[in-house]
């Protein structure tokens, strides 16, 4: 399991625009490089990222080989209700990692 | 023959190259007043050349004043001052700094039992936030087991091999960098405090000699860029003062965390010199000198660099 760092404000006022920051450890190997002996290094990337807020999709990104290693994705959403933000990264092999963060909305 | 070749290299370097564009030849002085070795002096090029050289030397000295002098203590600036505001912001935000992923890995390793003794770092050292506070700011340092200084990576390895009786980790391995980053993180915000007692002085002096030594096919020394020309541009980048307060660093060009030794080897290849091997005493001396040079400055580990 890759290591991920997520920043979500612990609490917010209803209607506030909140910033969410996510960082995940991944090589994001492009598939265009060769190793020291000249053999190609196989492509290995995360190609999909989704954030859901109490089950509703609020952010969705497609990732391509031009994205640097350890993708850092930051975006904004509106704090509507207390609950859970779920983040899921899916790599090209279909493996998915999900991490969650709680938010309290007053 | 050597002098001739050198002359050719230099004239090639001075010629503006359409591929490289402007800036390469300007930021880095390719002419220095005194050749480092008699064999490298322009022998056999005739008297007129000597006269021209003498005029050049005198004019250079007049224009530039003293060369290769240490940067005055109050003019020292963190290398973070020479990176873009975006990179600096990334470094100072723990949720954006990619090196924090390594720090978290290091924390896991710190608490993982390893080796024949089946003990973790934490079993002896406890909470790293307390026991490792300020440690990275004191390395390289002399160790009792050797009559030489070791850097932080080497110190971690000593503990791992002799105390934990675990297998050695290779230099630049993910695990060693993670442990180093985790330990160095505990010194963030503290002043660099390497020892410069009588025992350490010869090694700091050796590091300085290497820093000021011209080397490689480009015949450059570290000091020519980082003492004499900091703040100017090399290609598109500002030349920093080379204050090693943020290692290990996450270098965007590498897309991973790397040690000071890796960075030094990088610069050596850039000078077209043969880099010393990882762990070479010369590199440790150089690290020691660099940390001594940054004495009293604030630790920023793990830093982000372009």
Q: Would you identify the CATH topology of the domain B97-185?
A: Cytochrome Bc1 Complex; Chain D, domain 2 (1.10.760)
Of B98, B105, B256, the CB nearest to A72: B98
Cis omega (within 30 of 0) for bond into B302? yes
Q: Tell me, what's the pLDDT at B69?
A: 82
Asked if B122 and B110 touch (Cβ cutoff 8 Å), the reply is yes
Q: Which residues of B touch A5 (CB under 8 A)?
A: 94-95, 100-101, 104
Q: Which residues of A touch B256 (CB under 8 A)?
A: 69
Q: What is the largest CA-CA distance in chain A?
A: 59
Q: Under CATH, to which class is A4-105 assigned? A: mainly beta
pLDDT(A63) > 50: yes
Contacts 24+ apart (CB under 8 A), B48-57: B56/B31, B57/B33
Task: Please state the rounded mean pLDDT for residues B43-71.
Answer: 52
Confidence of residue B40 (pLDDT cuts 50, 70, 90): very low
Domain with CATH 1.10.760.10 in chain B: 97-185
Q: Let me know the angle formed at the C-alpha of A49 by A48 and A54, rounded to the nearest 5 degrees.
A: 140
Q: Tell me, what's the pLDDT at B50?
A: 56
Mean pLDDT of chain A, nearest integer: 95
pLDDT(A98) > 70: yes
pLDDT(B162) > 80: yes
Higher pLDDT, B196 or B31: B196
Asked if B184 and B134 touch (Cβ cutoff 8 Å), the reply is no
Q: Tell me, what's the pLDDT at B67?
A: 54
Q: Which residues of B touch A28 (CB under 8 A)?
A: 255
- The shortest C-alpha distance from B105 to chain A (Å) reads 8
Q: Tell me, what's the pLDDT at A7?
A: 95
Q: Tell me, what's the pLDDT at B138?
A: 97
User: Which segment of A33-37, B61-65, B207-211 scores lowest on mean pLDDT?
Assistant: B61-65
**What percentage of chain B reaches a pLDDT higher than 70?**
78
Residue B293 to residues B68, B112, B208, B246, B288, Cα–Cα distance (Å): 14, 35, 9, 14, 8
Inter-chain touch A23–B255, beta carbons under 8 Å: no
Nearest alpha-carbon partner for B249 in B299, B304, B183? B304
Q: Tell me, what's the pLDDT at B145?
A: 85
Task: Please state the rounded mean pLDDT for residues B100-111.
Answer: 96
Q: Indicate the domain borders of chain A.
A: 4-105
pLDDT(B10) > 50: no
Dist CA B17 CA B89 (whole Å) = 35
**For chain A, give me the number of helices (H) and strands (E)?**
0, 8
Dist CA A52 CA B143 (whole Å) = 53
Task: Please state the rounded mean pLDDT for residues B115-139.
Answer: 96
> Does residue B267 have an active-site annotation?
yes
**Any CB–CB contact under 8 A between B252 and chain A?**
yes
**What percentage of chain A reaches a pLDDT higher than 90?**
96
User: Which segment of A6-15, A24-33, B7-16, B216-225 scores lowest on mean pLDDT?
Assistant: B7-16
pLDDT(B34) > 80: no
Indicate which of B94, B98, B181 best probes the interface with A, i.e. most A CBs within 10 Å of its own CB: B98
Q: Which residues of A touch B94 (CB under 8 A)?
A: 5
Full-model pTM: 0.81
Mean pLDDT of chain B, nearest integer: 84
Residue B171 to residues A15, B18, B260, B267, Cα–Cα distance (Å): 50, 39, 11, 18
């Amino acid at each position: 399991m890759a290591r991920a760092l997520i920043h979500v404000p612990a609490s917010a006022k209803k209607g506030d625009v909140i910033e969410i920051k996510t960082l995940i450890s991944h090589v994001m190997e492009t598939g265009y490089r060769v190793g020291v002996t000249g053999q190609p290094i196989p492509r290995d990337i995360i190609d999909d990222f989704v954030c859901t807020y109490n089950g509703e999709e609020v952010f969705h990104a497609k990732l391509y080989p031009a994205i640097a290693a350890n993708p850092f994705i930051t975006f904004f959403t509106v704090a509507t209700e207390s609950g859970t933000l779920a983040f899921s990264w899916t790599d090209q092999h279909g493996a998915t990692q999900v991490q969650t963060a709680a938010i309290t909305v007053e | 023959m050597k002098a001739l070749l050198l002359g050719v290299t230099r004239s090639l370097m001075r010629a503006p190259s359409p591929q490289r564009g402007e800036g390469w030849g300007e930021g880095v002085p390719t002419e220095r007043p005194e050749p480092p070795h008699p064999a490298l002096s322009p022998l056999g090029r005739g008297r007129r050349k000597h006269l021209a050289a003498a005029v050049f030397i005198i004019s250079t000295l007049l224009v530039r004043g003293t060369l290769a002098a240490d940067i005055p203590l109050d003019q020292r600036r963190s290398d973070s001052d020479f990176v873009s505001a975006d990179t600096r912001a990334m470094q100072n935000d723990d949720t954006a700094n990619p090196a924090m992923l390594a720090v978290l890995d290091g924390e896991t390793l710190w608490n993982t039992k390893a080796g024949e003794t089946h003990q973790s770092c934490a079993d002896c050292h406890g909470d790293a936030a307390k026991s490792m506070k300020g440690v990275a700011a004191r390395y390289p340092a002399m160790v009792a087991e050797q009559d030489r200084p070791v850097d932080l990576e080497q110190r971690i390895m000593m503990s791992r091999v002799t105390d934990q009786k675990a297998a050695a980790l290779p230099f630049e391995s993910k695990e060693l960098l993670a442990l180093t980053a985790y330990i160095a993180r505990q010194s963030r915000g503290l002043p660099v405090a390497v020892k410069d007692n009588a025992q350490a002085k010869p090694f700091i002096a050796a590091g300085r000699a290497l820093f000021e030594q011209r080397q490689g096919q480009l015949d450059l020394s570290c000091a020519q860029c980082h003492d004499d020309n900091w703040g100017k541009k090399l290609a598109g980048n500002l030349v920093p003062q080379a204050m090693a307060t943020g290692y290990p660093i996450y270098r965007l060009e590498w897309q991973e965390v790397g040690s000071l030794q890796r960075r030094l080897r990088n610069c050596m290849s850039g000078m077209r010199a043969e880099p010393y091997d990882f762990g070479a005493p010369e590199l440790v001396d150089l690290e020691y000198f660099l940390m001594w040079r940054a004495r009293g400055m604030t630790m920023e580990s793990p830093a982000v660099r372009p």
